Amino acid sequence: MIEILQRIATLIVKEFLLILIDPKSRFVIIVPPLIQFFVFSYSATFDLQNVEYAVLDESNTVLSRSLLSRFSGSPHFSLVGMLDTTAQVPELINNRAVRLVLHIPTDFADRVRNHEPAVLQVIADGRNSNVASVALGYVQEITEQYGESLQARFVSTSPRISLIQRSWFNRNMETRWYIVSSLGGIISMVIVMLLSALSVAREREFGTFDQLLVSPFQPAEILIGKAVPCVFFGLMDATILSLAAAYWFDVPFRGSIVALVIVLLAFLIAVVGVGLFISSISVTMQQGLLGAFVFIMPSVLLGGFTTPISNMPQWLQNGTLVNPLRYVVQALRDIFLMGAELSTIWHYIWPLLIISAVTMPAAAVMFRHRTQ
Per-residue pLDDT of 111-140, as tens digits, reads: 888 878 888 899 988 877 777 888 888 888
Highest mean pLDDT among 96-110, 147-161, 252-266: 252-266
Region 185-202: mean pLDDT is: 86
Q: Please state, in angstroms and rounded to a whole number, the distance separating the CA atoms of residues 70 and 306.
A: 31
Q: What is the pLDDT of residue 213?
A: 62
Report how far residue 203's alpha carbon sits from residue 18's, in angstroms, rounded to the nearest whole number.
Answer: 11
Instruction: Specify the higher pLDDT residue, 322 or 174.
Output: 322
Contact predicate 203/209, CB 8 Å: yes
The pLDDT mean for the chain works out to 85
At 210, the pLDDT band (50, 70, 90 cuts) reads low
What pairs with residue 372 in β-bridges?
Answer: none
Neighbours of 150 (CB within 10 A): 17
Confidence class for position 27, pLDDT limits 50, 70, 90: confident
Q: Which of 216, 226, 269, 273 is nearest to 4 (CA)?
A: 216
How confident is the model over 59-78, as a mean pLDDT? 89
Assessment of whether the complete model's pTM goes beyond 0.85: no
Q: Which of 268, 280, 302, 244 is nearest to 191 (CA)?
A: 268
d(CA 264, CA 195): 17
Percentage above 90 pLDDT, the chain: 30
